[in-house]
């Protein structure tokens, strides 16, 4: 989560609230060093993909460089959006099906890198 509490009356988090928690979120990401981050909702997506609309990018993996780390961001609608708009539930289901494909692709990339490194050592 971008902020560690639910804002009053379920309002959107304020910019200063997001900024107050930024160091903690950044540090967690640095420690975990994920290869994939699935963002749920526009605020978490905005951390990595600013100035884009979730309706245009949901379910579309994007490789990014963040603080010198390469990772894949998969933006998705927040599950609560499905409670407000039932049609979004099907999109969320379809978007989640992409995750195993992305994981498999990253595993294959890692195998290729590992194999090329082994060949170089033999020469």
Q: Does residue 89 carry a pLDDT above 50? A: yes
Residue 102 DSSP SS3: helix
Contact 84, 10 (CB under 8 A): no
Average pLDDT, stretch 94-109? 95
Domain positions in the chain:
33-122
Q: What angle do CA 57, 90, 101 make, to 5 degrees?
A: 60
- Phi and psi for 72 in degrees, rounded to 5? -110, 130
How is domain 33-122 classified at the CATH fold level? Uracil-DNA Glycosylase, subunit E (3.40.470)
pLDDT of res. 10: 85
93: which 2 tokens? 């289901």
Q: What is the mean pLDDT of residues 78-86?
A: 88
Residue 37 gets which letter from DSSP? Answer: E
Q: Of 12-16, 25-29, 52-56, 78-82, which gets the smallest average pLDDT?
A: 78-82
Work out the average pLDDT over 34-38. 97
Q: What is the pLDDT of residue 118?
A: 57
């Amino acid at each position: 989560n971008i902020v560690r509490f639910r804002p009053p009356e379920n309002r959107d988090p304020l910019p200063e609230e997001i900024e107050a928690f930024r160091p903690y979120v950044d540090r967690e990401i640095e420690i975990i060093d994920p290869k994939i981050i699935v963002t749920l909702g526009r605020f978490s997506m905005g951390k990595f993909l600013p100035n884009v609309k979730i309706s245009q990018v949901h379910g579309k993996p994007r490789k990014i460089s963040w603080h010198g780390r390469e990772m894949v961001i998969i933006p998705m609608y927040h599950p609560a959006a499905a409670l407000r708009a039932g049609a979004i539930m099907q999109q969320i289901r379809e978007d989640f099906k992409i995750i195993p494909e992305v994981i498999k692709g990253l595993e294959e990339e890692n195998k290729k890198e590992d194999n090329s490194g082994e060949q170089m050592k033999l020469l």
